[in-house]
Amino acid sequence: MTSIANSIPTIGLGTFGRTGDAGMASILAAFEIGYRHIDTAQSYNTEEPVGEAFRRSGLPREQVFITTKVADTKLDKASFMPSVERSLEALGFDHVDLLLIHWPSQNNAVPFEDYMTELKRAQDLGHTRFIGVSNFPIARLEQTRALLGEGAIVTNQVEIHPYLQAPRLSSYARSIGLPLTAYQPLAQGDVRSDPVLSSIAERHGVTPAAIALAFLMAEGHAVIPASSNAVNLRENMRSVGVRLSDDEMGQIRALNRDERRINPAKSPRWDD
């Protein structure tokens, strides 16, 4: 499977909402289909199902890339590292592959330097192979570079899909060699009924969702679509083999309309 930044598998499984036994079963199905990148978070309550599905899969640990995220309620120095250790206990691992800051602290309630240095310390302690961020605008990425240095983080996980292509953020990220990871890459399922994507999908013999994912990967992003349906899991994975023409890429780029789906009160000031 291709990867970005020589570290993150390009396609993974988002696990928001995949809780309990049903969630564990859907994650195990993803492993059986071929997914090797699983994205979880402290706030999803899916770390335990991810760990249990992994153990049932029988896969070697080194073949699976696990991402989790420190919740914005655990960013202070007293809470940060204990929360990471609880995540590892829930997963049943001695380390994760990628540890992210889930959201920057709202209104700097926790000083930026505090939680970013704790993130780096988690890596130094061996709790994670790589570190990164999520929902960071350009200003926060610049702060991160100034504080931790070039290349310290391997991704910024943000909402990106055909209707929110984040051109300013994407351009900046490319300029510093920082891959983005797209969450909500299927726009909460809306891509499935898009006429442009449907037309392209028919030519390639795949679903509109697979075309949306192929587009995002062609733009240099990793993607973490979520699904509990084995058919959809397989169809999404087929996106890896899709090669879009320049004309098709242009048609999909024209779908951008800055349509953001995830925008809670704690959101930073977005660039796009």
Q: Is 38 exposed, middle or buried (0-12, 13-18, 19+ CB in 10 A)?
A: buried
- Which of 44, 163, 172, 183 is the catalytic position? 44
Amino acid at 162: P
Structure tokens at 231: 């058919």
Our answer to whether residue 172 is catalytic in this structure is no
Residue 105 C-alpha from the chain's centroid: 19
Is 37 annotated as contributing to ligand binding?
no
Residues 91 and 68 sit within 8 Å (Cβ to Cβ)? yes
How crowded is the C-beta side of 44, counted as CA atoms within 13 Å? 27
Residues classed as catalytic: 44
- Binding-site residue numbers for substrate are 102
- Binding-site residue numbers are 102
